[in-house]
Chain A
Amino acid sequence: AQSVTQPDIHITVSEGASLELRCNYSYGATPYLFWYVQSPGQGLQLLLKYFSGDTLVQGIKGFEAEFKRSQSSFNLRKPSVHWSDAAEYFCAVKAAGNKLTFGGGTRVLVKP
C-alpha cells in the first residue's frame, strides 16, 4: 500500500527566507505526486504536480518541487516566502483510480 511521510509537523520561517518542505513516499509503481496548500477552514488548493518527465516542476505562487526517485522524495521549495504563505501544506500520491493518499501535513508559520 502507498504511504506518504512529511517529517516536519511545524516549520517557522522568516519572511523573505527560503522554505523547503520534505515529503517521502512509498509506492510500488511510478508515482503521481502532488502538493496542496490549505488555509484555515478552507479546502485544498493544488500547488503543483508531477506525472512524468522533467523532475523539477514549477507550480503556482513561486513554488517548485523536485522528484528524486532514488530517495523516494518530492520536496517542495520556495526561494523567498511571503506572509501569505503561512498555511498547511500537504504532499500526496495518487494510487488506484483517483484515490489520493496524503501525508500528515506541515504547518508553516511566517515571522515578520
Chain B
Amino acid sequence: KAGVTQTPRYLIKTRGQQVTLSCSPISGHRSVSWYQQTPGQGLQFLFEYFSETQRNKGNFPGRFSGRQFSNSRSEMNVSTLELGDSALYLCASSSAGTGDREAFFGQGTRLTVV
C-alpha cells in the first residue's frame, strides 16, 4: 500500500509570490491534515479536511488556505509569501473522521522563501 505522497519535495519562492503544495493520502483515507514545522514554533496544525470539507482550522492567517478533492487528494495554498513562511509542510492522512485512528505522515515539502 502506497504511503502519503507530497509534491514537490523542495520549493524556493520569492517574497510576495504564492505557492501550492499537494498531498495524496493513503488509498481509502478520507481525512487529510496539514502541519507547519519550524525550528522556532515546532509542529503546528494548519487545517484538516474530511470528505472535501474543512473540519478544523488552526491559528494561521487567511493567506493559508486549502482544499480537498473528491478523490481525497488535498492542496494547500499560501499567498503573498513572507520570509517567515519558510518551513517544512507536512501532510497527514487518516482513515476515518475521529476516534482511534492514527495519522500517517508524508515526507513533507520544504519551502524556502527568499
Contact = CB atoms under 8 A, between A and B. Distances in A.
Which 10 A-B pairs rank lowest in CB-CB distance, beginning with the nearest?
A51-B100, A102-B43, A44-B105, A43-B105, A43-B107, A97-B56, A98-B94, A98-B31, A43-B108, A97-B55
B28 interface: no
Nearest to A6: B42
Interface of A: 32, 34, 36, 41-46, 49, 51-52, 90, 96-105
A32 B45 CA distance: 16
B105 A36 contact: yes
Given A42-B108, A90-B43, A100 B100 contact: no
Interface residues of B, number: 30
Nearest to A51: B100
B105 A102 contact: no
A100 B103 contact: yes
A97 B102 contact: no
A46 B100 CA distance: 14
B76 to A, nearest CB: 15
A109 to B, nearest CB: 17
